[in-house]
């Protein structure tokens, strides 16, 4: 079972690394949006600092949302998804492997580049480290919850709008707590509560989202 | 080993078939026949457990396939219309990743032998996107050959194959049957199989007749 997880993870990573331009899209989107903001508003350090948590978190969320479509689309189109569903291994494990690959290739690069953008938005050092923690806990949830939406809409032509409608409401708590943690940290207040909440949501998503995704995939295939 | 009990399939408010029952025994080759749109692919997807039947059930050694997926899927392999081939992976990697979904780890020589058998010798390191559609189908032939499944469910396996490819498919089915395996397939191309075959007719007023 672990072997099946590992093999699929490696396959997905290898496939994505061979079409790198697709890979860079979410990251470039993230950097562009955050860097364009100071150009469009008055770039005083105080103003930037108040906006930074929200801007960075919203951009990260949208970057993940844009990349979600590819999670199952290619496998659905070439029939590989059928083969995954006919695997003797639990579909949940395979879903988890695909989501892990998705997070490693979209969420993790965002987490790595975020501190630079935080400094760019003149966040204090304490807030930058909280930004990293909050994204580290929050972006896997975005991938996990997003997978549920993608598995429901993968068979729909131009399912992008539907996808946003389904998962944006589920993303909002993550956005609120993630951005709030950074905001509070830049005022020098403790943020344990927000980070614990994000951790709890991650644990919940990790245990339930693969199950929900695999059921949704079976429903999609039965059409 | 496989038993379909009074299956019913409705697609877009059209009844494709109802009360369809048949069994597949060991060493049996079963052809699903019927015109376009008569529900052949739907039937195959139902007996794979990919699609749910409106009524009826499919049993694998007496147990419903939906509650017994693990055992059933370890023993069956399904090939649909779609090629399942990744353009960015090489032929060898494609076969390997298909086998990985079945948790089969085979050595390179074993896979290369199967590729040679299906006419893809020396193509191991060619990326999937450089292959013709017939060659992509041949990757799937190598996959079913290596899958160690006892039941093959093949949806139009001859699509895009040339004359040698068709002969190869036929000989593979005969070999598989001799080893005690079973095959359920659909085809619009003439398949000349030198063995006993049973068939299920779809798309007639009275369905489910067996010859």
Residues of A within 8 A of B81 (CB-CB) are 79
| Among candidates B49, B86, B93 on the partner chain, residue whose Cβ is nearest the Cβ of A78 | B86
CA of B50 to nearest chain A CA: how many angstroms apart? 6
- CATH number where B192 lies: 3.40.50.300
Based on the structure, what is the number of domains in chain B? 1
Report how far Cα B184 is from the mean position of its chain's Cα atoms: 7
Higher pLDDT, residue B159 or A138: A138
Q: How far is CA B170 from CA A84, B116, B122, in A?
A: 27, 17, 23
Q: pLDDT at residue B210 above 80?
A: no
Please state, in angstroms and rounded to a whole number, the distance separating the CA atoms of residues A38 and A45. Answer: 10
The helix/strand/coil state of A23 is helix
Total-model pTM: 0.91
Cβ atoms < 10 Å from Cβ of A162: 13
Please state, in angstroms and rounded to a whole number, the distance separating the CA atoms of residues A24 and A133. Answer: 23
Mean pLDDT of chain B: 89
Residues of B within 8 A of A84 (CB-CB) are 101
Domain membership of residue A184 as a residue range: 2-221
pLDDT at A19: 83
Q: pLDDT at residue A78 above 50?
A: yes
Residues 6+ apart with CB under 8 A from B61: B1
A215 touches chain B (CB under 8 A): no
Domain membership of residue B188 as a residue range: 2-201
Residues of A within 8 A of B68 (CB-CB) are none
Q: Is residue B69 part of a domain?
A: yes
Residues of B within 8 A of A221 (CB-CB) are 45, 50-51
Decide if A99 contacts A19 (C-beta within 8 A): no
Q: Is residue B61 part of a domain?
A: yes
3-state DSSP percent of chain A in helix, strand and coil, to 5: 85, 0, 15
CA of B165 to nearest chain A CA: how many angstroms apart? 21
| Among candidates B49, B74, B82 on the partner chain, residue whose Cβ is nearest the Cβ of A79 | B82
Please state, in angstroms and rounded to a whole number, the distance separating the CA atoms of residues B136 and A130. Answer: 50
CA of A131 to nearest chain B CA: how many angstroms apart? 36
A217 touches chain B (CB under 8 A): no
**Under an 8 A CB cutoff, do B76 and A86 touch?**
yes
Residues 6+ apart with CB under 8 A from A165: none
| Among candidates B52, B83, B100 on the partner chain, residue whose Cβ is nearest the Cβ of A78 | B83
Instruction: Kindly state the average pLDDT of the residues A74-101.
Output: 93
The helix/strand/coil state of B60 is strand
Output the six-digit token pair for B143. Answer: 């996959």
| pLDDT tens by residue, A179-196 | 999 999 998 899 999 999
Q: Is residue B210 part of a domain?
A: no
pLDDT at B204: 66
Please state, in angstroms and rounded to a whole number, the distance separating the CA atoms of residues A29 and A12. Answer: 22
The helix/strand/coil state of B137 is helix
Residues of B within 8 A of A86 (CB-CB) are 48-50, 73, 76-78, 101
Q: Provide the pairing of β-strand B151-155 with B76-79.
A: parallel
pLDDT at B93: 93
CA of B66 to nearest chain A CA: how many angstroms apart? 11
| pLDDT tens by residue, B83-136 | 889 999 999 999 999 999 888 888 889 999 999 999 998 998 999 999 999 999
Burial class (CB in 10 A: 0-12, 13-18, 19+), B178: exposed
Instruction: Kindly state the average pLDDT of the residues B50-64.
Output: 92
Compare all CA atoms of chain A with the CA of B94 and give the residue at the minimum distance: A11
Length of chain B in residues, anyone?
A: 211
Compare all CA atoms of chain B with the CA of A222 and give the residue at the minimum distance: B51
Q: Is residue B62 part of a domain?
A: yes
**Under an 8 A CB cutoff, do B82 and A94 touch?**
no
Cβ atoms < 10 Å from Cβ of A21: 7
CA of A153 to nearest chain B CA: how many angstroms apart? 17
Instruction: Report phi then psi at B66, rounded to 5.
Output: -75, -25
The helix/strand/coil state of A121 is coil
| Among candidates B48, B85, B86 on the partner chain, residue whose Cβ is nearest the Cβ of A86 | B48
CA of A68 to nearest chain B CA: how many angstroms apart? 19
| Percent with pLDDT over 90 in chain A | 76
**Under an 8 A CB cutoff, do A80 and B69 touch?**
no
Q: Is residue B208 part of a domain?
A: no
Compare all CA atoms of chain A with the CA of B48 and give the residue at the minimum distance: A86
| pLDDT tens by residue, B8-46 | 998 888 889 889 999 999 999 999 998 888 889 999 999
- Between chain A and chain B, the number of residue pairs with CB atoms below 8 A apart is 78
Q: Is B31 left (phi over 0), alpha (psi -120 to 50) or beta?
A: beta
């Amino acid at each position: 079972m672990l072997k099946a997880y590992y093999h699929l993870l490696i396959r997905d990573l290898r496939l994505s690394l061979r079409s790198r331009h697709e890979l860079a899209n979410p990251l470039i989107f993230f950097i562009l949006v955050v860097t364009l903001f100071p150009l469009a508003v008055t770039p005083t350090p105080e103003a930037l600092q108040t906006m930074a948590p929200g801007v960075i978190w919203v951009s990260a969320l949208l970057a993940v949302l844009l990349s979600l479509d590819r999670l199952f689309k290619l496998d659905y189109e070439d029939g590989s998804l059928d083969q995954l569903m006919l695997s003797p291994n639990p579909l949940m494990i395979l879903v988890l492997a695909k989501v892990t690959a998705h997070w490693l290739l979209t969420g993790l690069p965002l987490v790595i580049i975020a501190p630079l953008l935080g400094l760019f938005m003149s966040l204090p050092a304490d807030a930058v480290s909280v930004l990293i923690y909050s994204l580290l806990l929050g972006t896997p949830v975005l991938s996990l919850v997003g997978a549920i939406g993608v598995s429901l809409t993968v068979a729909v032509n131009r399912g992008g709008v539907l996808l946003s409608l389904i998962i944006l409401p589920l993303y909002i708590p993550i956005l609120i707590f993630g951005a709030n943690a950074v905001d509070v940290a830049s005022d020098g207040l403790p943020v344990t509560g927000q980070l614990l909440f994000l951790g709890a949501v991650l644990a919940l998503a990790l245990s339930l989202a693969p199950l929900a995704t695999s059921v949704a995939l079976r429903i999609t295939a039965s059409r | 080993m496989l038993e379909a009990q009074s299956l019913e399939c409705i697609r877009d408010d059209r009844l494709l078939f109802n009360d369809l029952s048949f069994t597949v025994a060991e060493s049996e080759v079963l052809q699903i026949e019927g015109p376009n749109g008569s529900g052949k692919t739907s039937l195959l997807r139902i007996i794979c457990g990919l699609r749910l039947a409106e009524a009826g059930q499919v049993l694998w050694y007496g147990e419903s396939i939906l509650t017994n997926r693990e055992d059933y899927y370890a023993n069956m392999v399904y090939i649909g219309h779609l090629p399942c081939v990744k353009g960015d992976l090489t032929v060898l990697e494609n076969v390997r990743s298909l086998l990985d979904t079945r948790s089969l780890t085979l050595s390179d020589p074993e896979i290369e032998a199967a590729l040679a058998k299906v006419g893809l010798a020396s193509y191991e390191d060619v990326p999937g996107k450089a292959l013709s559609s017939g060659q992509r189908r041949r990757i799937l032939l190598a996959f079913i050959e290596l899958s160690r499944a006892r039941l093959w469910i093949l949806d139009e396996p001859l699509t895009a194959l040339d004359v040698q490819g068709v002969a190869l498919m036929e000989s593979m089915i005969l070999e598989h049957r001799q080893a005690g395996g079973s095959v359920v397939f659909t085809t619009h191309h003439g398949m000349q199989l030198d063995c006993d075959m049973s068939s299920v007719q779809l798309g007639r007023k009275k369905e489910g007749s067996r010859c």
